[in-house]
Amino acid sequence: MFVLDSIGFVNTGLPLIVLGVLAVLLPRLVVDGDTRSHGKVAAGIGVCAVILFAVGYAVSYVLTHTRGVHAMALGSSPELGSALWVHSRLSLMAAIVWAPILGLVWFGQAQGVEARRGQDLVARGR
């Protein structure tokens, strides 16, 4: 296995903080704040997860490239598929941080949907 560098603030802490902040803020931009549909919330959270995976992939690529290693030549062989797998794996490892945060944001969004549905029922007089 390829070891990039030891754990430090610039190559580990800062990217995880950025991904965590994005996991909190991104759903506010993607999911409609007035929706009454759990399906739309779930779809928005799914889009956010894909975006966060892509950002994690990009961060892995950039950090590897700035260390002087050609980012697409990593792995056991110089094939493109191997490099894609290495960066995908590193991006999925970062999901250990942002996935629980995104799950909590999803829970909060779902509570908002239920609150709006309840307000609608009260407004109709039921």
Q: State the sign of the Cα–Cα–Cα–Cα dihedral 50, 51, 52, 58.
A: positive
Provide the residue ranges of all domains of the chain, joining segments of one domain with +: 9-121
Q: Which residues are CB-contacts of 30 (< 8 A; sequence separation ≥ 6)? A: 44, 47, 48, 51
Segment 82-107, tens digit of pLDDT = 778 888 998 999 999 999 999 999 99
Segment 58-81, tens digit of pLDDT = 998 888 877 766 655 555 555 556
Average pLDDT, the chain: 86
pLDDT at residue 80 in the model? 59
Residue 28 has pLDDT above 90, yes or no: yes
Between CA 23 and CA 96 the distance in angstroms is 12
pLDDT at residue 1 in the model? 42
Query: Across residues 26-50, what is the average pLDDT?
Result: 95
Phi-psi region of 99 (alpha: psi -120 to 50; beta: other; left: phi over 0): alpha
